[in-house]
Every structure is written in structure tokens, then in C-alpha cells.
């Protein structure tokens, strides 16, 4: 098919605005899926996606659309809507020329709508606005259309009215995609250093990949120049890994082998590579014999939050099971399917061997840990999620990045500490501002502009430390606004941080697993909470347990758990009191000796409850 008949596009929107449901209707209208095989969220193949009703992993599909005597090849990429997966959206946008900006008519423009629109505009993509869920009785069609017109500066008639549930407007939307999304062009002209056109040259962008036990790494590609086919000798430019193409194909929506992929088309390439780390999202494929330069300007993912993962049982059981090895293999397998997951091995004296893993956000963390439990049968201890801090010596200038709280320096007078900050936008009804503003100040936010948006909503722009976002900020915003607020954010820079490390001493011995980094102004309150929780969770033992929470160079909070008492004279009946006194004295000396050398036994369940992700 000629490139003038190809249209590559994505559907982008705020979470729960109906992207996957609309994609289902487009599959039906174009006949990509027979009606008898159709099911809800057809492109959401992961069990967790269908269970939660959200898209986690982008999914491409080729549609064939007939209009005015011509057939068009429409390559759709269905993208996630949650803020954690904005990186997935940015990857898909590199492979397309246009987007459908979908807005829920019952909710209006939301914060994530602004974020994904900004991503599309940065790429210079054609934007087709569409208003979804117009069939619902509570749909605010005219109000929401006015919001879109104000946001895009378009005409009201340019907003396509659709219903993902009934299919209304699906045909009109497909016609607009053909009319307004430009056909793909070869990218060689945009790259000054690229060689002149040659029939043996080819180049393709890797925007995703997956792993197959039989076929190895399968990369999802957008062909930018030339043609790819079975038997071609290709190289990953960034990784330097060479391979022979075993198969090329398209998504229809199941994988379907084809003879070749030509410029402008989206499909997959089977590499046969089975080693982790060889394929990277954003890498460029080109021919070994006639290489073209790498595609510039592709942003790589960056972990936002970190959490330590430990197997609950690290000893091989009767069947020879070693959960640490299984956890490592499981993470390696997931990393072959999820380019944004990163991990490295670490050791905790309390919990043994585990992994420090990086995630795109709290939902990403939740999804990965749930998959580890479901797909690999692992029982996990998940440490409290943290962020990374950059520490620079004021005199030496040496810099190190700290991911684990117990490695954070206790003395920071001669050090400068930097922490990541975010830029965020909140859209909420006007009358909730009185509840939102105090909450923002409590989370150290710097409030910028507040603008009216629509008839009764306000957009609040702000900046705040990333650590405060993780302190249940989104849940609290939803709570004070009765669920009507929406939030989007992005990392912007690093700024000086006034934070300190809190340590827990049990009878004078440091328990590194309980260490955490907190703001100086909140250190006393957090220390009291830690001490109270430990005093409640730790079981009484034969020795007195002294709980001390230290920070800022002193003991901030302390609690004590009295020792268990045993009646050593219970078997005596009457008689001389001196015999009882001898037994009591002997018990007293024994307790002193035990207290002097005794260490506190912290049950595994206590670690689990103290480190549990709420």
C-alpha cells in the first residue's frame, strides 16, 4: 500500500474517559474483529487491565478503512490514561502523525487531558478532538464542547461527537482521521547527516517490545525509511547488537506474519535475541550493510519512586524452592516486557537478600508487585516507597545518589542535599478551593496561577517536592473534593531539601530496615508515630525492650515495653520467706545478665507491618 494511504494515530485521554471502549467500536466498524469474537476492552490483553478497567500497556492494531473507492491502512495505538504511564504515551506519539484527543462529556476536560495534549503538541501532531459518552443522560455536551474549543482554539463543528458504548460517531471519526491526519513521510530528509536514498537502506524506531520463550525479543517498530523483511541483517544502534530478522508482521489485532514492512508502517520484528538488556525502547534499527543514523530526540524513562522487594521465604523448602532466585528471574522476565522497570540487588540485615526496584509511580509499583504475586506465585515484603536524593559535598564537590534511607548520611552539615520536584495541575470545582489550598500548604506546595476553566471549575498550577506527592497527596485531594478533582504532574528539576534521617534503636542496636528520610519540620511527629507503632506491634519478651527513635543528633521519641514476668515461687507452699527471696534474687541476676547481652527478636510480621505499602 502506498504511503499516501497510511494513517498512524493514537487515542489519548484522561483515565476512564473511554479510550479502550472507543477502540472496540473502531475495531467493529472496520471489521478488524468479527462481531462474534468481540469482547469489552479487546485490546487490553493483560488480566489486570481487564480486571481494573484501565489500560496499562500500549497496544497497536492495524485497521482497514474503505472510503470513496479507496482502502486506507489505519494504524491505531491505544494508550494508557493514568499519569504513571505518561511515558507509554510519549513512546507511542513518536510513532504516529496524529492523535484523537478524547474527552468524557460527563466529566469535561481533566488534568491529564492537558498533559497528553501538551505531549502531542510537542511532537507537532495533528489533533482531532472527540467528545465521548454523549449517550449518557448526565452528559454535558455543550459545556464540554465549549471547554475543548477554548483549550484547542478550534471551531465547535470540529469536535466529533462519539459514543464508545453505542458506536455513534465512529464512522465520522474514521473519516476525520483520514482527512486530517497526514500520511507518513520518510524521515531521511529531516536528518541532515543521513546518507542519500539507497534501495538497500532502512531505519525503524523501536517504541516497545515483548519477550517470547520461543522467539526471543519481539520489537514493536515504526518503519521510518526503506523496508524490513525476513532475513535482513539488522543492528540496534544504541545497544550495538546484531541479529538476523526471523519474522516481520503486523497487529490485526493478533500478530500476523507479512512479507515485509515498508516506510510509514507499524508492525513487529522477531529478533531471536534471548538476552536481557539488548533491546531498548527508543533505539533505532538499521541495516548492517547500509546503516542510517539513529533517530534523535527520544526521551528514556526515569524511575520516579523506589521500593525494596524481598521474598518472604528465602530458604529453599522441602521441594528445593528458592524464592530469592525466583524473584530475580521474575523481575528479569517482567523487565523484558516492561521497559520502564529497573532493579538491582541489595541486602538487608533484617530481611536478607532482595532487590531495589525503580517504578514510574505508585500505580506502576502496585501493578508490578501484583503481577509478581499472581504470575509467579511469590510472597513479598514490600518496603515503604521512597525517592532518590542527590548529595553533594560542599568542600569536596563529590556527588552520590542515595536510594535507600539507611544509606542516607546522619551528619549533613558539610553536605548539600537535593531532591526532585514536580510541576502539577489540579482541576476542581470552584467551591472546593477552601479545602484544597490548606492541603497544598501542608504538602509544601508553591502555588502558581489559578485560572477559571469552564463555568464552575478552576485550574490550579503548583510545584511541590516529589516526596510530598507520595504522602497520600492524590487520595487526600480526592477526599476533600468528593472525588471531583483531577491531578497531573511531571518531574521538573532538583532543589535543595531540608530533610533528615530517622533511625530506630532497639535496646541500643540499630534496625536499618526501619530507617526513613523525613522533612526536618515533621521529624518529631514522624518519630512519635514510629515509636507508637513499634510499641504496639512488638511482642513482649523476657527482657525489657527500649525503643528509641533518633534524628537531628538526639533521641526524639522513646517507648518501653516491660519484660515478661514468671512466677518462680509459684510451686512453694508456705515455709520460710528466705527461700522465696533466694529465688527472686537469682531471677533478678539472670534478667540482668540477659538484658546485658540480649538482643531484641523482631518477628517477621512486624517488619511486614512497619514497611507495608498503605
Between the CA of residue 292 and those of 99, 203, 264, 273, 529, what are the distances in Å?
28, 6, 16, 22, 59
H-helix or E-strand containing 277? none
> Residue 250 in contact with residue 74, Cβ under 8 Å?
no
The reply, when asked if residue 20 is annotated as ligand binding, is yes
Is 404 within any annotated ligand binding site?
A: no
Residue 532 C-alpha cell reads as 507508637
DSSP string, 219-268: EEEEEEESEEETT-EEEETTT--EEE--EEEEESSSEEEESEEETT-EEE
Is the distance from CB of 111 to CB of 486 less than 8 angstroms?
A: yes
- Is 213 annotated to bind a ligand? Reply is no
DSSP 8-state secondary structure symbol assigned to residue 389: E
Grid coordinates 513479598 are at which residue?
380
- To the question of whether residue 17 is assigned a binding role by annotation, the answer is yes
d(CA 260, CA 256): 11
SS3 annotation, 111-174: HHHHHHHHHHHHCCCEEEEEEECCCCCCCCHHHHHHHHHHHHCCCHHHCEECCCCCCCCHHHHH
Q: Whole-angstrom Cα distance, residue 496 to residue 418?
A: 4
456 labelled as ligand-binding?
no
Cell of 208: 516497545
The three-point CA angle 160-151-129 to 5° equals 20
* 98 known member of a binding site: no
Find the helix packing angle between 604-611 and 523-537, rounded to 10°.
Answer: 150
Q: Which residues are annotated as a binding site?
A: 16-21, 132-135
Residues contributing to the annotated binding site for GTP: 16-21, 132-135
Amino acid at each position: 500500500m502506498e504511503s499516501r494511504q497510511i494513517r498512524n494515530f493514537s487515542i489519548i485521554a484522561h483515565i476512564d474517559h473511554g479510550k479502550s471502549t472507543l477502540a472496540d467500536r473502531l475495531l467493529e466498524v472496520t471489521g478488524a474483529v468479527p462481531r462474534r469474537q468481540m469482547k469489552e476492552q479487546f485490546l487490553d490483553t493483560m488480566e489486570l487491565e481487564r480486571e481494573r478497567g484501565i489500560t496499562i500497556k500500549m497496544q497497536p492494531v492495524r485497521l482497514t478503512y474503505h472510503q470513496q473507492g479507496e482502502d486506507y491502512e489505519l494504524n491505531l495505538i491505544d494508550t494508557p490514561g493514568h499519569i504513571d504511564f505518561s511515558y507509554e504515551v510519549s513512546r507511542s506519539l513518536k510513532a504516529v502523525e496524529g492523535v484523537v484527543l478524547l474527552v468524557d462529556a460527563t466529566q469535561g476536560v481533566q488534568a491529564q487531558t492537558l498533559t497528553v495534549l501538551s505531549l502531542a503538541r510537542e511532537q507537532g501532531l495533528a489533533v482531532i478532538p472527540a467528545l465521548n459518552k454523549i449517550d449518557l443522560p448526565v452528559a454535558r455536551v455543550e459545556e464540554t464542547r465549549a471547554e475543548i474549543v477554548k483549550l484547542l482554539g478550534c471551531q465547535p463543528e470540529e469536535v466529533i461527537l462519539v459514543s464508545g458504548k453505542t458506536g455513534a460517531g465512529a464512522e465520522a471519526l474514521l473519516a476525520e482521521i483520514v482527512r486530517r491526519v497526514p500520511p507518513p513521510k520518510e524521515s531521511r530528509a529531516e536528518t541532515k547527516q543521513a546518507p542519500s536514498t539507497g534501495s538497500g537502506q532502512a531505519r525503524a524506531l523501536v517504541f516497545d517490545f515483548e519477550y517470547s520463550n520461543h522467539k526471543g525479543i519481539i520489537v514493536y517498530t515504526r518503519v521510518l525509511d526503506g523496508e524490513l523483511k525476513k532475513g535482513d541483517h539488522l543492528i540496534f544502534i544504541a545497544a550495538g547488537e546484531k541479529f538476523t530478522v526471523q519474522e516481520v508482521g503486523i497487529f490485526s489485532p493478533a500478530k500476523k506474519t507479512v512479507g515485509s514492512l515498508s516506510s510509514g508502517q507499524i508492525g513487529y520484528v522477531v529478533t531471536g535475541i534471548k538476552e536481557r538488556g539488548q533491546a531498548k525502547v527508543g533505539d533505532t534499527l538499521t541495516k548492517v550493510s547500509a546503516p542510517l543514523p539513529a533517530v534523535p530526540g527520544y526521551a528514556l524513562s526515569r524511575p520516579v519512586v523506589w521500593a525494596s522487594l524481598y521474598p518472604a521465604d528465602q530458604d529453599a523448602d522441602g521441594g528445593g524452592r528458592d524464592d530469592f532466585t525466583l524473584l530475580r528471574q521474575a523481575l528479569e522476565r517482567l523487565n523484558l516486557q516492561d521497559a520502564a522497570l529497573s532493579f538491582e540487588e541489595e541486602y538487608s540485615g533484617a530481611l536478607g537478600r532482595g532487590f531495589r526496584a525503580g517504578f514510574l509511580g505508585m500505580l506502576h509499583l502496585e501493578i508490578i508487585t501484583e503481577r509478581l504475586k499472581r504470575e509467579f506465585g511469590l510472597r513479598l515484603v514490600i518496603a515503604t516507597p521512597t525517592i532518590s536524593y542527590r548529595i553533594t559535598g560542599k568542600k569536596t564537590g563529590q556527588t552520590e545518589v542515595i536510594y535507600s534511607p539507611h544509606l542516607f548520611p546522619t551528619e549533613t552539615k558539610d553536605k548539600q542535599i537535593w531532591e526532585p520536584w514536580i510541576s502539577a495541575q489540579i482541576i476542581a470545582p470552584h467551591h472546593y478551593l477552601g479545602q484544597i489550598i490548606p492541603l497544598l500548604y501542608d504538602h509544601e506546595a508553591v502555588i502558581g496561577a489559578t485560572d477559571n476553566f469552564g463555568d464552575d471549575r478552576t485550574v490550579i498550577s503548583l510545584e511541590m517536592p516529589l516526596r510530598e506527592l507520595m504522602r497520600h497527596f492524590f487520595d487526600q485531594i480526592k477526599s476533600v473534593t468528593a472525588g471531583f478533582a483531577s491531578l497531573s504532574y511531571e518531574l521538573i528539576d532538583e532543589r535543595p531539601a531540608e530533610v533528615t534521617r530517622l533511625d530506630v534503636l532497639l535496646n541500643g542496636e540499630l534496625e536499618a530496615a526501619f530507617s526513613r528520610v523525613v522533612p526536618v519540620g515533621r521529624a518529631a511527629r514522624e518519630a512519635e508515630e514510629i515509636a507508637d507503632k513499634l510499641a504496639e506491634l512488638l511482642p513482649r519478651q523476657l527482657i525489657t525492650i527500649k525503643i528509641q527513635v533518633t534524628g537531628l543528633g538526639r533521641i526524639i521519641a522513646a517507648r518501653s515495653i516491660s519484660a515478661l514476668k514468671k512466677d518462680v515461687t509459684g510451686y512453694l507452699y508456705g515455709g520460710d520467706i528466705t527461700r522465696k527471696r533466694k529465688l527472686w534474687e537469682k531471677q533478678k541476676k539472670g534478667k540482668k545478665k540477659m538484658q546485658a547481652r540480649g538482643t531484641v527478636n523482631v518477628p517477621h510480621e512486624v517488619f511486614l507491618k512497619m514497611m507495608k505499602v498503605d
